[in-house]
Amino acid sequence: MRPQRPLPVDPPPPGEELHRPLYKTASIRETTTVRTDRQLRLDSGTPGTPTPRRLHTWTGAGRNEPSVDVGNAEKEAAEEGPELHRRIKKQQQNISNIGAAKMPFSVNGILCTLALLLLWRAEELAEACSCAPVHPQQAFCNADVVIRAKVVGEREVDSGNDIYGNPIKRIQYEVKQIKMFKGPNQDIEAVFTAPVSAVCGVTLDATGKKEYLISGKAESGGRMHVTLCDYIMPWDSLSTTQKKSLSQRYQMGCECKIVRCPSLPCEISAPEECLWTDLMIEKQVHGRQANHYACVKRADGSCSWYRGVAPPKKEFLDAEDP
């Protein structure tokens, strides 16, 4: 079989240089090289200008397939090249802008998450039990109920639901009241508290072998609620002065105000105040003033520390500061 020859291509005009590189048209079996000339003119009316011919390439498949018009392809490529380049650059710029715009949102999202975690942690810490130290007399005056009692039973009970519908658990201590120093006319039969100390729950010995001084908030039906911030002490740990003061002297001084000394030197700012210095001088809450003194109001309206097991005498109450 005789091989077919490709169609001839017109040579460039004499004296003119080719300004275009060689373009290769790929085929299945072989490649035919086509030379193009920038100086070709599409305007057929120009004298001496060759008319572009329709070129054919050999595909090796036994037939000739027409290719694109080289002259038109060159012109379109020259015209569309800058526009295509501009569009690509614009898309790249848009992608960069989108990435830059998303970055602050990502950073803000991380910062917001960290802020929420910190707030959640702060709220969790705020919910932990923290109580300022108070003098026993001040705790007595702040309480609704103050009793001496034994704890004879313990159980966990439901006390309604919170705002999210979750059940609220409380510990119920069954108590046997021995004496009431302050409170309602009926005996206290149950003392309620939170289930854990993290939310100020109080743990008491429920075997009935230990007596407690229990102060707290009154509830209906012979019940009361206590927290770690209330004054709750084993009865045997109280001093004789404290036990006697529960009956009269603490109540006499409820119109007085016991002020904690924050630093030395310190002084009272009003005549109805008593300066409490145990924390500053003795570095403990249960110091001499807490164990052996009561702040009592006198006839002139001022308040002063009184020490003694017996109730204050009339001479002390009638005394006036110079």
Contact criterion met (CB below 8 Å) for 303 and 312: no
State the average pLDDT over residues 154-162. 90
Tell me the average pLDDT of the chain.
76
User: For 63-89, how does the pLDDT look when each residue is reduced to its tens digit (9 = 90+)?
Assistant: 444 444 545 555 555 555 667 667 777
State the Cα–Cα distance between residues 291 and 284, nearest whole angstrom: 11
pLDDT band of residue 54 (cuts 50, 70, 90) is very low
Choose the weakest-confidence range: 5-9, 176-180, 209-213, 283-287: 5-9
113 — pLDDT class (breaks 50, 70, 90): low
Nearest to 227 by CA among 202, 195, 244: 202
The top-scoring range by mean pLDDT among 100-104, 209-213, 284-288 is 209-213
What is the predicted pLDDT for the residue at 127? 55
- Percentage with pLDDT > 90 across the chain: 48
Average pLDDT over residues 175-182: 98
In this predicted structure, what is the pLDDT of residue 162? 84
Instruction: Please give the pLDDT value at position 24.
Output: 45
Establish whether 129 is an annotated binding residue.
yes
- Domain spanning 239-322: CATH 1.10.940.10: no
∠146-147-152 over CA atoms, to 5°? Answer: 135
| Residue 148: other Cβ atoms inside 10 A | 18
Confidence of residue 5 (pLDDT cuts 50, 70, 90): low
β-strand partners of 57: 65
Given CATH 2.40.50.120, say whether it is the number of domain 132-238: yes
DSSP per residue over 12-25, as a string? PPTT----S--EEE
Which pLDDT does position 219 carry in this prediction?
96
pLDDT digits (tens, 9 = 90+) for 232-291: 999 999 999 999 999 989 999 999 999 999 888 899 999 999 999 999 999 999 999 999
C-alpha torsion angle, residues 104, 110, 116, 121 (rounded to 10): -140
State the pTM of this model: 0.58
145 and 213 in contact (C-beta within 8 Å)? no
pLDDT of res. 37:
46
Higher pLDDT, 297 or 69: 297
DSSP secondary structure code for residue 171 in this structure: E
Comparing 211 with 4, the larger pLDDT belongs to 211
The answer, yes or no, to whether residue 114 has pLDDT greater than 90, is no
- Please determine, for residue 60, whether its predicted confidence score (pLDDT) is greater than 60: no
